[in-house]
Structure 1
Amino acid sequence: MKEYVVVDGYNIIGDWPELVERKKYSLVDARDMLIEQMAEYQAITGRTVIIVFDAHLVRGIGAKEKQFRVEVIYTKEKETADERIEKLVKKLKNVNTQVYVATSDYLEQRVIFGSGALRTSARELRNQLVDVEKSIRQTVKDVEREPNQGKIALSEEVAEFFDKWRRKGQ
């Protein structure tokens, strides 16, 4: 079953402490940090991540782009992130998909739940991300601990030949 995580971008930025702090200095940096973190989340979980940002904080005609394989949507000028998220849920949800919406907006949670999606609060998503980061660190540690062996298994006879050849060159 294909899984999607639709993220209410500014709602998450307004909730996670590290993003709140980053936003004080640069909204663009806070958005970039969220996108990078969600790319890691996507890489480990295999869930397709779509982040939606409201147009009221970034004026424009609406845009869609890919950053780090994460789909990033900026709504049209008179469209809210909630409206776009609701449209996405209706478009993506079917018997072969599961859609999660990450937001702490209580009203939005109720609306998307009625559309068949599951909700994930900002705190729950952050906890999942922390687990993903722990998993990445553990994987790196495990790889570092593995003995540095060649990828090709050699028979004893071939290994002996190469060893003799190596010694001749000394």
Structure 2
Amino acid sequence: MSAPRTLTYLLVDGHSVIHAWPELRKEHVKAARRHLARLELLTRLRNLQDMSGMQVVVVFDGARQGTNEEREPEGLQIIYADPGTTADTIIERLVARYAAERPMRVVSADGMVRETILSLGAEWISPEILRGLCDGAERDMRTRLA
């Protein structure tokens, strides 16, 4: 009998990825369509989670009062930072708290975040690498459905 597999957590700085992916950035610059960029990112991350078995946690800089969290049943965990806190800060706190206990990967285009999370024991993934992981997961999904 093999040992149970440790769940890997993928922490994603949502706005960092939206600004790094041209097709999402294009939607995000138009206030009336900003939500579409978020929805598209969440759809792609949901597919990645379903196909990879990683637990995906998406953190957005927030505009609402108080830190808000949503958890889909068997799905994504979405955190909105309160106006006085950034997504970077929340991600760094999560890594500082949990990286010693479980495998964590962080997606951010921010070099300071990369240096901090690496020093805390997490892995770093660029938004471009994340796109490749999402593309691969979606190809695998199409193959399984075919």
Q: Which runs of structure 2 are paired with 1:16-35 in the superposition (5 Å)?
A: 16-25=21-30, 26-35=33-42
From 78, 82, 87, the equivalent of 1:72 is 78
Counterpart of 2:105 (choices 97, 100, 107) is 100
Q: In structure 1, how many angstroms separate the alpha carbons of the residues matched to 2:72 and 2:58?
A: 10
Go from structure 1 to structure 2 and tell me whether the alpha carbon gap of 1:36 and 1:67 turns closer, same or farther (over 3 Å shift): farther
Residue by residue, what CA displacement relative to the aligned partner does 1:71-91 show, whole Å, maximum 9, x if unpaired? 000011100111100111122
Q: Does 1:8 align with 2:13?
A: yes
Q: TM-score, normalised by structure 1?
A: 0.77
Pairing 1:1-170 to 2, within 5 Å after superposition:
1-25=6-30, 26-55=33-62, 58-67=63-72, 69-95=75-101, 97-141=102-146
Superposition CA RMSD, Å: 1.3
Structure 1 unaligned runs (5+)?
A: 142-170
Q: Between the two proteins, what is the percent identity of the paired residues?
A: 28
Q: What is the TM-score when the length of structure 2 is the normalising length?
A: 0.89
CA deviation string 1:56-108 (max 9, x = no partner): xx23222000247100000111001111001111222124x110000111111
Higher RCO, 1 vs 2 (CA within 8 Å, ≥6 residues apart): 2
Q: Which has the larger radius of gyration?
A: 1
State the distance in 2 between where 1:101 and 1:65 align.
19
